[in-house]
Amino acid sequence: IEGQRAGGDLSAEQRARADELLTSLLSSSVRWDPALLGGGPWRACYTKGPEPKWKALTKLLPIAKSRAYQDYDTTSQTVTNVGEVLGDALKVRAFGSYEEVDGGETSTPKDFKVTVT
């Protein structure tokens, strides 16, 4: 998926490989270290389920090099979601907070509740 344009569609082969890698990651049960979450940005390069709104927006302007990412501050437990509409020229930002839903769990995968304000 490296080099994939935000909002770009994956081939069936790329999607199958991404699903395979996600399944492997989800079953790996790695020790959770919250400090590693901070200092993004964390780029959204593959999603499952309903199409995110940022992805639909990038399809409206296919010539723009756009991306979506999140930046987490682990000290204040806040998150900034960024969707580039026209690359660096136009960005949409949403701010909020997050908390662990499974706070007692010390290994991955983790589940978070995000509240956008």
89 within domain boundaries: yes
21 within domain boundaries: yes
Show the domain range for 95: 12-116
Q: Where are the alpha helices (DSSP H) in the chain?
A: 12-26, 53-60
Closest CA to 53 of 113, 88, 3, 7: 7
* pTM score of the predicted model: 0.69
61 within domain boundaries: yes
**E strands in 16-111:** 42-43, 68-73, 78-84, 91-100
- Residue pair 112/89 in contact by the 8 Å Cβ criterion: no
**pLDDT tens per residue, range 46-91:** 777 777 776 676 677 666 667 788 999 999 999 998 888 777 888 8
Closest CA to 66 of 79, 49, 80, 53: 53
Structure tokens at 111: 């589940």
22 within domain boundaries: yes
Total count of domains within the chain: 1
4 within domain boundaries: no
